[in-house]
Structure 1
């Protein structure tokens, strides 16, 4: 009997993975071949597998709302007691990754055609609020006719969906954008960055950034790859410029839309300088883009004995005329092809007789370079500040005499970026890393206060914040008690408890513990009933929470915030309040600590 899945016949297995199986299927009702992707339904307590299932459903939701010739269509979604399945368009072809892995290369016109198909699909997808987030050759299908179809919307971000958020790193490292590595919210320009990486690979046969996760992340955030023209003679400066714009570090510096990317690529490939004004590609990016480049070839018959007449000098754009180069041009031809056509006139030229051997004097031995001078403490401090001070989703402090780093870093991409940054510092092996990793939706909060936190405290010192008794873990019904000490200036305190569920509880000031000015170095305790004031107990949801406190020489808010609000409402107001205080010359010091809460 033919195995059935709902109304669909399962004809053969097309592929298997850790999560499920893909079948060739058949819809007998409308006489259509289909592909059916299946995953096993996970146990309720298997959190990771539940997330995989959520992504699977998201793929059906994302691709199911899209109907375009350059996107693999989704026709149906269903579940049985054991599995969930998606019914998709059957693509009789292969993946772009399979083609590239075989070492096959495309000419520039074919690359342009493939990228235009990709951009057409992305323009349609983005126009309907769907960002793919995992554009790579493995997710680009090629039909037998060579048409492009975008597949696998499993980690897509859908506008108005709450299933993905900033702080989540999803994607394939070699093709991920800086904002994906930093756990920031993505938009359509993320797909354009990944497409730029793929264009680089199509033009050169190599990915722009290689290595392990940490190495790739560091390169994506801090370095530029070699221009494609440095790796392939078929790539012009105009194509370099398109790749550079698509792969810009900042999303706002990339193409605004997929259609702009496609048009700029077409213009660059055809060397039409209209792209200069349309897409901000400077005229220098085009070089002599319309010049014809002909690879030398070995003549099929012996070259004529009579040399051609000397060519008239021709001035080049970036150097002396070929006449000035003289014998060097002949040497280049000999190296490239063992002979070949002259650069001018098309006459065949005899190879020159071998030059007599000349005794070579021994090459002088270059002196060893002097060791680089040791950095002064001020230079070392500047190096640390430049490398670590602006890392996203961190709040760091450094002690140079002991080479100790303390503070907080977000889990996942921020922590990996931090590790890469530390390795780029002088003597990374001697650095003592005591930075706590925080797993939770706190990147936006840390990024809000980080501009007001000095890596090296100055004469004003730093605000001190800790759970009473030096605790780092609290259990259900435990009191949340906090000890704070003002920095070396008088001012006001704002202390907030950020929960993993996205809520914020304002611990100080409150209606029962009004705001007041504290002297420099003064201590403040919170949450201890013996000292009066409000008190709080730990309760569900359990996990990693965070306390943030801010000391400022002026009050941040003119009136009390609601004691309990969401982080999404509070953080924009806090950011504006800090900016206003700083603009008025106020002194500000910030601190943050993680709080691990447990049921028992």
Structure 2
């Protein structure tokens, strides 16, 4: 396509950009002597369903934008197809996208923010009145008409996934959009209306005011946050954001559509009124203004599982009686594979009359979840807040409390990939981080702390894990309580608080159920990428070992792996190395059917587990998880 000089009647001048679907060119319309932008998609492999959907969206973009003529919408002039490509001819907008300015760390004063939002909402109001919902409002789809920002206007582009009221193509059942800016109803694949654009515009306003998006992370992490948590609001993150605008952002980003602004015009009016009422209206920040960020995550990992008394374990016989066992395992670090073989030197436990009311025994000494890496604390000096503007009475510098620092760490840890990190902040402003993390996490967190000017010091008590465990760590973090939270936890240790096992040692997890009635899954992930299901187990070829899905009571203590009649237990065996035990407690069973085997690949199982976690969470269920590294060594 780069060698094509004409497309239909249009002359091709140069390539403006390339995207996932096709190429955008600067063109020339010789008939009326004007520059145009020509967006193209290839028509190859037209029988492929995915290609057919892309072409359908492309045609729908032409149809949607073609019916809209407004100063804040990029107009479509023409649509055509050749043997090789389909193309849309639209206005050539000389200025940059809003996204390009944000990526260059450009600053936006309040007057400019108001002008951008006023233009956007005016275009949306016009579009909505004509039955067109854009569904993908984001900085990359907002064009500035000039490189002179003081004189430029904003135009909405790319109606490729727009929904037209008379269209039957984009109904409920398809999740579509850009995750960071998607509304809750988009994530739920429900039919959307104009209020989904209101939500996305609220996210954009949040980003303009703070320089950050309200929710970060992967798709599943963002989805959970959008559906279940609230971010810290703009004035809590940026000294330049007037507190009066918080209520406007909150209403625009309400999780329920009927709690948002009913129209784009109502949103615009409320924004202007709030800005006018603010004492800090239209004053751009001084060049040396500092933004302090402190964003609250949806969830963060349990910093350190609580060591709990271990009850006398239930007898394991040919009739499964592991009911009443509630387990959350955080195990990793023993490269052992499991052999089920009897052990004569281990006495059988005394059977309990009932599983749900085991007789307690004295608690063992508590032990940390992970083996801390000896790393000297990283001290981060606090950065002073600069007054907003000389024309406005400077606000008193807010005191940074341990709770505020905890919120900062909550956001930092929640957005880490391949990490399951929690902890707390003491009265001395020292943050103690515990958990498990993959390569590079410590440096990433320290760099983030420095760039965000987080006060205080950091104590790093986080164990290192190989990348093979990254999917499991990321999954567990998505369902864990936030950093510093007192939310329910699932306690996990091994018997005698051991973290190192040798060839022939029994693997005996000890767990305590969180404070809700729920179900349990416990798995051993080996360093070779295989998974052994510890609980529940599928019946073996003789039918002797199987677990029924059982509901556990809050706080119930669970003992697994103790040898008993019909169940010799799990023993460490080659290959040796560092493995991980994971456990998940959920208010509903994660799987409606048992797994087909007790041993499978980690990639397959964690993919299915992630889907099951989303299903429970989307249905309003409660989940919490934990993990433990285990070093499995030769004698």
1:236 match: 242
Residue 292 of structure 1 and its aligned partner are, at CA, apart by: 9.9
| Residue 90 (structure 2) aligned to one of 88, 91, 94 | 88
Q: Relative contact order (C-alpha < 8 Å, sep 6+): which is higher? A: 2
| Residue 406 (structure 1) aligned to one of 580, 591, 601 | 591
| Residue 170 (structure 2) aligned to one of 164, 171, 175 | 164
How far, CA to CA, are the matches of 1:67 and 1:201 in structure 2?
28
Give CA deviations for 1:461-506 in whole Å, capped at 9, x if unaligned: xxxxxxxxxxxxxxxxxxxxxxxxxxxxxxxxxxxxxxxxxxxxxx
Matched, 1:381 2:383: no
Task: Report the CA distance shift for 1:128/1:297 in structure 2 as closer, same or farther (over 3 A).
Answer: closer
Give CA deviations for 1:497-539 in whole Å, capped at 9, x if unaligned: xxxxxxxxxxxxxxxxxxxxxxxxxxxxxxxxxxxxxxxxxxx
Residue 42 of structure 1 and its aligned partner are, at CA, apart by: 3.4
1:124 match: 126
Give the 3-state SS of the residue equivalent to 1:426 in structure 2: strand
Task: Report the CA distance shift for 1:297/1:64 in structure 2 as closer, same or farther (over 3 A).
Answer: closer
Give CA deviations for 1:162-204 in whole Å, capped at 9, x if unaligned: 1111010110000000000001110000001000000000000
Matched, 1:30 2:36: no
How far, CA to CA, are the matches of 1:296 and 1:163 in structure 2?
48
Task: Report the CA distance shift for 1:295/1:159 in structure 2 as closer, same or farther (over 3 A).
Answer: closer
| Residues 182 and 414, structure 1, Cα contact 8 Å, conserved in 2 | no
| Residue 40 (structure 1) aligned to one of 21, 39, 42 | 42
Q: Within 5 Å, which residues of 2 pair with 1:257-272?
A: 257-271=263-277
Give the 3-state SS of the residue equivalent to 2:137 in structure 1: coil
| Residues 110 and 282, structure 2, Cα contact 8 Å, conserved in 1 | no
| Residues 228 and 240, structure 1, Cα contact 8 Å, conserved in 2 | yes
How far, CA to CA, are the matches of 2:140 and 2:42 in structure 1?
23
Task: Report the CA distance shift for 1:154/1:364 in structure 2 as closer, same or farther (over 3 A).
Answer: closer
| Residues 8 and 28, structure 1, Cα contact 8 Å, conserved in 2 | yes
Give the 3-state SS of the residue equivalent to 2:267 in structure 1: helix
Structure with the higher helix share, 1 or 2: 1
How far, CA to CA, are the matches of 1:76 and 1:49 in structure 2?
22
How far, CA to CA, are the matches of 1:64 and 1:156 in structure 2?
12
Matched, 1:155 2:149: no
Task: Report the CA distance shift for 1:364/1:231 in structure 2 as closer, same or farther (over 3 A).
Answer: closer
1:350 match: none
1:504 match: none
2:5 match: 3
Task: Report the CA distance shift for 1:372/1:58 in structure 2 as closer, same or farther (over 3 A).
Answer: closer
2:57 match: 55
Give the 3-state SS of the residue equivalent to 2:74 in structure 1: coil
2:222 match: 216
How far, CA to CA, are the matches of 1:46 and 1:4 in structure 2?
27
How far, CA to CA, are the matches of 1:365 and 1:171 in structure 2?
40
Give the 3-state SS of the residue equivalent to 2:185 in structure 1: helix
How far, CA to CA, are the matches of 1:364 and 1:235 in structure 2?
26
How far, CA to CA, are the matches of 2:80 and 2:63 in structure 1?
12
1:315 match: none
How far, CA to CA, are the matches of 2:129 and 2:69 in structure 1?
12
Task: Report the CA distance shift for 1:399/1:126 in structure 2 as closer, same or farther (over 3 A).
Answer: farther
| Residues 519 and 549, structure 2, Cα contact 8 Å, conserved in 1 | no
1:549 match: none
Give the 3-state SS of the residue equivalent to 1:24 in structure 2: strand
User: Which sections of structure 1, spanning at least 5 residues, go unmatched?
Assistant: 273-287, 299-333, 346-362, 385-396, 431-600
1:515 match: none
How far, CA to CA, are the matches of 2:97 and 2:623 in structure 1?
41
| Residue 183 (structure 1) aligned to one of 189, 198, 208 | 189
2:258 match: 252
Task: Report the CA distance shift for 1:169/1:291 in structure 2 as closer, same or farther (over 3 A).
Answer: closer
Give the 3-state SS of the residue equivalent to 2:517 in structure 1: helix
How far, CA to CA, are the matches of 2:95 and 2:281 in structure 1?
36
How far, CA to CA, are the matches of 2:253 and 2:213 in structure 1?
12
Residue 237 of structure 1 and its aligned partner are, at CA, apart by: 2.0
2:298 match: none
2:80 match: 78
Give 1 or 2 for the bigger CA radius of gyration. Answer: 1
How far, CA to CA, are the matches of 1:294 and 1:244 in structure 2?
23
Task: Report the CA distance shift for 1:96/1:294 in structure 2 as closer, same or farther (over 3 A).
Answer: closer
Task: Report the CA distance shift for 1:415/1:21 in structure 2 as closer, same or farther (over 3 A).
Answer: farther
TM-score with structure 1 length normalisation? 0.51
TM-score with structure 2 length normalisation? 0.49
Task: Report the CA distance shift for 1:239/1:415 in structure 2 as closer, same or farther (over 3 A).
Answer: farther
Give the 3-state SS of the residue equivalent to 2:516 in structure 1: helix
How far, CA to CA, are the matches of 1:293 and 1:79 in structure 2?
48
Residue 400 of structure 1 and its aligned partner are, at CA, apart by: 2.5
| Residues 22 and 38, structure 1, Cα contact 8 Å, conserved in 2 | yes
How far, CA to CA, are the matches of 2:518 and 2:132 in structure 1?
42
Q: Within 5 Å, which residues of 2 pair with 1:325-340?
A: none
| Residues 214 and 416, structure 1, Cα contact 8 Å, conserved in 2 | no
| Residues 215 and 420, structure 1, Cα contact 8 Å, conserved in 2 | no
Residue 85 of structure 1 and its aligned partner are, at CA, apart by: 0.6
How far, CA to CA, are the matches of 1:22 and 1:365 in structure 2?
52
Task: Report the CA distance shift for 1:293/1:4 in structure 2 as closer, same or farther (over 3 A).
Answer: closer
How far, CA to CA, are the matches of 2:78 and 2:613 in structure 1?
39
| Residues 275 and 281, structure 2, Cα contact 8 Å, conserved in 1 | no
Aligned length: 347
How far, CA to CA, are the matches of 1:291 and 1:63 in structure 2?
33
Residue 15 of structure 1 and its aligned partner are, at CA, apart by: 1.3
Residue 291 of structure 1 and its aligned partner are, at CA, apart by: 13
Give the 3-state SS of the residue equivalent to 1:240 in structure 2: helix
How far, CA to CA, are the matches of 2:113 and 2:431 in structure 1?
46
Give CA deviations for 1:554-575 in whole Å, capped at 9, x if unaligned: xxxxxxxxxxxxxxxxxxxxxx
How far, CA to CA, are the matches of 1:292 and 1:90 in structure 2?
33
2:623 match: 425
Give CA deviations for 1:128-155 in whole Å, capped at 9, x if unaligned: 0000000000000011142100000000
Q: Output the aligned Cα RMSD.
A: 4.3
| Residues 12 and 26, structure 2, Cα contact 8 Å, conserved in 1 | yes
| Residues 591 and 612, structure 2, Cα contact 8 Å, conserved in 1 | no
How far, CA to CA, are the matches of 1:377 and 1:416 in structure 2?
17
How far, CA to CA, are the matches of 2:63 and 2:92 in structure 1?
18
2:213 match: 207
Residue 373 of structure 1 and its aligned partner are, at CA, apart by: 9.5
